[in-house]
Structure 1
């Protein structure tokens, strides 16, 4: 038997655990996520993203030699729809993952950890992805977050698919750049569109 062959007393691999995680067939905690663009240097045709979940009450050791405990985690893609030239919307569920006993030690209770989104001018690989994120507690509290970005690099021409996180504080930009900013505001609202 080689070192990579699992035995009955070995810990499950990350891939084995990922394959076990199940979607909740009847989620009830819906949130509408809106991305609103203001003062953009040009159009945005595409919004992408994912929702991340974690089961904080469960842990496992994926590598017995290293011995570091990890929590089950999973991401689901977000499907945004373009509403108008400055707005994209999607519906996510805080309870999208099914609470189950995935590790044989009791039920793992999933929590929404965050929403990561990015906008692209055309969807081309060379476009900059302008990031706009919300933490799980911000989604549950139906808050919003505004990010500021420089207009001068739009739409981008980097072959390595660069992401721009922007800044949450517009004062991080020097005075000469204050007139060259655009914003993306991420808004969470309970319910579906």
Structure 2
């Protein structure tokens, strides 16, 4: 009988320990915030020469208060934790996609006993693929919130060019000479982020 009681107590102890460990994360694998509230909408558009095989959003998170991080004695600097989370982009029409993310999706924690580390979104990107070629366009969240809609350009000839699959297509801006001099050879893509009011 005593053996059964001891075994039951041991099992309960293991269960409780496992349950507690699941609520904590690490800098490389942060825990999810169980009650996120800061919801944002991502809207992407594309005037590509043809359809995309796939399109997805990518949200970059960083620890934004370096005081909570230890100094790496070998490198002589702090190693700032960061993580990326993919989000689904739902098709609205032939040229438009929408997705959502939570700015407070990750749980703030004291990883190093130097104070609570705060996670925040630092970048928002879109990845579209056609015949194996990746077209990535991204901007910092601060830029998107401050300046609104951002436009990038890709060379039309890269769409469907399997030779470009290894390195992907390079995004350009309207200020790039090749775009301003030969606008007809490029197609625009955009991304904008909007705060979703609860």
TM-score range, shorter chain: 0.7 to 0.9
TM-score of the superposition, structure 2-length normalised? 0.75
Shift of 1:140: 3.6
Cα distance in structure 2, aligned partners of 1:168 and 1:50: 20
Question: In the alignment, what sits opposite 2:123?
Answer: 114
List, as ranges, runs of 4+ consecutive aligned residues in structure 1 with deviation greater than 4 Å: none
* Larger proportion of helix: 2
1:97 aligns with 2:100: no
Between structure 1 and structure 2, the one with the greater Rg is: 2
- Residue 60 (structure 1) shift: 2.9
Q: Is the 8 A contact 1:170 1:178 kept in 2?
A: no
TM-score by length of 1: 0.77
Where does structure 1 lack aligned partners over 5 or more consecutive residues? 1-15
For residues 99-158 of structure 1, the C-alpha deviation after alignment (integer angstroms, 9 at most, x for no partner) is: 11122211111121101212112xx5xx22112212121344471110011111212303
- Higher mean displacement: 183-192 or 166-175: 166-175
Aligned partner of residue 163 in structure 1, secondary structure? coil
Match of 1:163 in 2: 168
Q: CA deviation at 1:81?
A: 1.6
Q: Give the drift of 1:51.
A: 1.0
CA contact (8 A) 1:147 1:185 kept: yes
- How many correspondences in the alignment? 171
1:33 aligns with 2:42: yes
The reply on whether 1:186 has 2:196 as its aligned counterpart is no
User: Could you say if the C-alpha distance between residues 25 and 156 of structure 1 is closer, same or farther in structure 2, counting changes exceeding 3 Å?
Assistant: farther
Q: CA deviation at 1:184?
A: 0.6
CA RMSD of aligned residues (A): 2.5
- Offset of residue 47 of structure 1: 0.9
User: Residue 136 of structure 2 contacts residue 169 of structure 2 at CA under 8 Å; is this kept in 1?
Assistant: yes
In structure 2, distance between residues paired with 1:165 and 1:175: 16
CA contact (8 A) 1:119 1:131 kept: yes
